[in-house]
Amino acid sequence: MKEQQQLITQCGVGDVASHVFLCGDPDRVPKIALSWSDVREVCRTREYVIQTGMRDGVALTAASTGVGGPSTAVMVEELVNLGAHTLIRVGNSGGLGVDVNRGDYVITTAAVRDDGTSKSYVCPEYPAAAHFAVTAALVDAARESDTMVHVGITWSVDAFYARNKVLGPEGLLSMSHGGYEQSWMNGKVTDMQAAQVLNVEMESSTLLTLANLFGVRAGCICTVSDRTPWPGPGEEIIDLDQNISGAIELANRAMIQLAKR
């Protein structure tokens, strides 16, 4: 048995670097590690794939979290148990801000905790704030990019279909099965837009809350793969690979900067 072997990932001491990238999709892990050398896969179970390698003399790890807060919390817990202290999420998101367009990047300064997982750890009033050094490194890396970059607040949710909406002829329509919705649901999208929230996704509030509780550093950069609410039938809705390679490269540069400071 590996020293300090973790319950879910089965990883032990030496499998995970102190600087870690997180993504939802397991297939994105090798994309994050594409520019690294000496890459080895140390975990492949359930929704979790973990690879560790080197770039510019820095040991790095990329790990998938699956979709949403519960599976993200499992991964963060086990990574931090093994010595990870700096985590950057590279993901997709829906654009909410009026000037946030598909293909743009959003760097999260803090997240609206509209999830259940983070509330299992601490009261709702506790902030989900990104670490200032991680945010600054991402912003520094983004200054060299030709892509539009937005920096601000992210709405982090649990329910993909219940929270996303389709733009219909008479307003916002439910995406849930059979058009299911509650009377208060449609107002959430417009409330977040009125509150100057830039984008919506499903993992940042859990990551940022746990990172602060555990005393480690975390930040997030997401591409805007779609707009919320989604357009009507016949229009292209979502492209999960929209500009993701650019976001991955920016995150890699930021992480190297953080590691070498």
Domains and CATH numbers, the chain: 19-260 (3.40.50.1580)
∠ CA 20-23-28 to the nearest 5 degrees?
A: 105
The pLDDT confidence band at residue 232, using thresholds 50, 70 and 90, is low
Q: What is the share, in percent, of the chain residues with pLDDT greater than 90?
A: 75
pLDDT-wise least confident of 44-53, 106-115, 155-164, 246-255: 155-164
**DSSP class of residue 10?**
-
If 0-12 CB within 10 Å is exposed, 13-18 middle and 19+ buried, where does residue 20 land? buried
Q: Which amino acid is at 106?
A: V
Q: What is the share, in percent, of the chain residues with pLDDT greater than 70?
A: 97
The pLDDT confidence band at residue 183, using thresholds 50, 70 and 90, is confident
Asked whether the bond before 30 is cis by omega within 30 degrees of 0, the reply is no
| pLDDT for 233 | 53
The whole-angstrom separation of Cα 174 and Cα 172 is: 7
The whole-angstrom separation of Cα 128 and Cα 54 is: 30
Residues across the chain: 261
For 161-182, give one letter per residue: b (16+ CB within 10 A) or e: ebbbbeeeeeebbbbbeeeeee
Residue 57, C-beta contacts closer than 8 angstroms, at least 6 positions apart: none
pTM attached to this predicted model = 0.93
119-134 pLDDT, tens digit per residue, is 999 999 999 999 999 9
Residue 242 has pLDDT above 80, yes or no: no
**DSSP class of residue 24?**
S
